[in-house]
A and B are shown apart, each in its own frame.
Chain A
């Protein structure tokens, strides 16, 4: 008995020695400039951009884990790869010392809830009363929590639309879906220099980040950049290859004259305010309740949006309003033509009714569901029976049809 105890003790001592020998010791205790212990910096060389500099912020305020440990397994407990994911954003980006008000607002925004898409779809398909209304269940967060909630429209939404919202987990799905979603970083992340080994966070959201989602239905993200998704199947073929540009998801696009604002170098967030994109803490059903930028805010107006907010880019220069874009370039602002635009006979016209000469239009849009096949539910990531496919009869890039919305003549686009 006694020998066994001694043997056990010796063995224990041996284990301790081996463990100590294999342990990687840090040369010093690493701290951030504010004096917070951040042992992550011992192993990690990644360098985010200046605002979130490694020496200032460290790693753990964003990526969680245990910054007091040097042992990899212990230090990495509770770590998150993507701090922007809305599931953790309250504790990461939204922590009390950083951006505390943002996560709750963003979670209410249409890009997170998809409320408009879900509500409209279910109304069209006769699943809920045909009156637009704020319903708690028309929300991605709700559907994520309630996978048991089933209906034909929801099945369609989950399988075909379910990848275009901020709850979408970045990197969870293969192919072009890999780059989509990610909560805060869906918009705010851009690739960093290779030697930094860490992407950069930015407030100058590049157009391509928006267009990762805003490229279907009205195709505004494509049209803005002067791209038209056509039915040419990549023709004309050149040198044995497709002669057209291909989107990451495999659709072909051909060049058309871009929007004048794109030509002037403006990106989406030059016009669109943070209250529109990230929400202002209110619950809306449709995007037009959230969108407040108008053409006249800059062109002939006083620089204020429909909700009375000052457009951030508008500056006064020698008595005139000018527009300063995110890159710091100054653009003069043209007022509407006093005769053509302001003639009483055209008083009901929206600016777009005349100034959008060509709009992609998809006629005879329809979907088909094959109950024999299976398709991935983009919310749960699981394959379930029933595969949806979208079809169109024909697609044209042509002058848009006009119609009446309230007291205004607006563009009507099928799709």
Chain B
């Protein structure tokens, strides 16, 4: 079978995700979901190598997400959907929102200003979902009642679930070369050294900003109803992605348009 995706990006995605899981295990020890911010600051300020591992965790997670976008784009351009059976295609597409959720809950459980804000918005949006809203919220967020606990569990379980599922059905972990792992670890390390990510502290800010990939939704929420801007709008690209199997041209055009719109919202939100 001819490879439709570039190996460097695919193995980079694999390496970054694995790295995020490993560093996650390490910083899990000093982390306490009851005191999210205090323990996160503790990881950075008091634990040996704590800051390093937290930064590595942060950047390998970000890299994994960015490489996932790259990987997906390549797969779509290579028309890989043709070779997937509908059930498998659907399952594969569903890893996309799950990865996003892992990334998102990662922000929530820092317990800082960005995390708290993201958690509150997510909770309110989840509750807007018809029928299953309450359940979803209890599974993933429930930050008002439970603090970071549920988001923490979701973060851990979802990432493990993703790893196990993808290893089982999407790629073979033993084919990951050590040098790929080392290379992508170095990239994350370099980023961590050059741009140490900060916990947001802005007790007086009149408008706190959520995670960067969430800014577009945050901005859209200013103009449209939560139902429209918070649920339908972000669900649209997933639907389009899924539909690529059957109407590739139209779905691809829709995806392109959606991303242009989302990018503009993000830009406006970032400049606020």
Contacts and interface: CB of A to CB of B under 8 A. Distances in A.
Whether the complex brings A and B within 8 Å at their CB atoms is answered yes
Contact of B41 (A8, A12, A39): A39
B156 interface: no
Contacts of B52: 16, 20
Contact of B46 (A12, A15, A29): A29
Contact of B204 (A28, A42, A71, A91): A91
A66 B41 contact: no
Contacts of B203: 61, 95, 97
Interface in A1-46: 5, 8-9, 12-13, 15-16, 19-20, 23, 25-29, 31, 35, 37, 39, 42
A29 B52 CA distance: 17
A67 B203 CA distance: 11
B186 A29 contact: no
Identify which of B41, B44, B45, B182 gathers the most chain A CB atoms within 10 Å of its CB: B45
Interface residues of A, number: 33
Contacts of A29: 38-39, 41-42, 45-46
Interface stretch (B11-19, B130-138, B191-199, B225-233): B191-199
A120 interface: no
A19 B49 CA distance: 10
Contacts of B42: 28-29
Contact of A68 (B47, B48, B112, B183): B112
A197 B186 CA distance: 44
B248 to A, nearest CB: 38
A25 B48 contact: yes
A22 to B, nearest CB: 12
B198 A12 contact: no
Given A20-B52, A37-B38, A67-B201, A74 B112 contact: no
A95 B198 contact: no
A31 B38 contact: yes
Given A67-B201, A91-B204, A12 B186 contact: yes
A163 interface: no
A65 B49 CA distance: 24
B51 A23 contact: yes
Contacts of A71: 196
B30 to A, nearest CB: 10
A27 B49 CA distance: 14
A28 B46 CA distance: 6
Contacts of B154: none
Q: Label chain A's interface by main secondary structure.
A: loop
B37 interface: yes
A26 B46 contact: yes
Interface string A53-65: 0000000110000
A68 B193 contact: no
B45 A12 contact: no
B45 A16 contact: no
B41 A37 contact: yes
Given A8-B186, A23-B51, A74-B198, A16 B193 contact: yes
A31 to B, nearest CB: 7
B204 A95 contact: yes
Given A12-B186, A37-B41, A66 B198 contact: yes
Contacts of A9: 182-183, 186
B207 to A, nearest CB: 14
Contacts of B198: 66, 68-69, 74
Interface in B176-192: 182-183, 186, 189-190
A70 interface: yes
Contacts of B196: 71, 74
B98 to A, nearest CB: 30
Contacts of B182: 9
Contacts of A74: 196, 198
Interface of B: 37-39, 41-42, 44-49, 51-52, 112, 182-183, 186, 189-190, 193, 196, 198-199, 201, 203-204
Interface of A: 5, 8-9, 12-13, 15-16, 19-20, 23, 25-29, 31, 35, 37, 39, 42, 60-61, 66-71, 74, 91, 95-97
The 10 closest A-B pairs by CB, nearest first: A70-B45, A29-B42, A68-B199, A26-B45, A26-B46, A29-B38, A37-B41, A9-B186, A68-B41, A68-B201
22 contacts: A8-B186, A9-B183, A9-B186, A12-B189, A12-B193, A20-B48, A25-B45, A25-B47, A26-B45, A26-B46, A29-B42, A37-B37, A60-B201, A61-B203, A66-B198, A68-B37, A68-B44, A68-B199, A69-B45, A70-B44, A71-B196, A97-B203
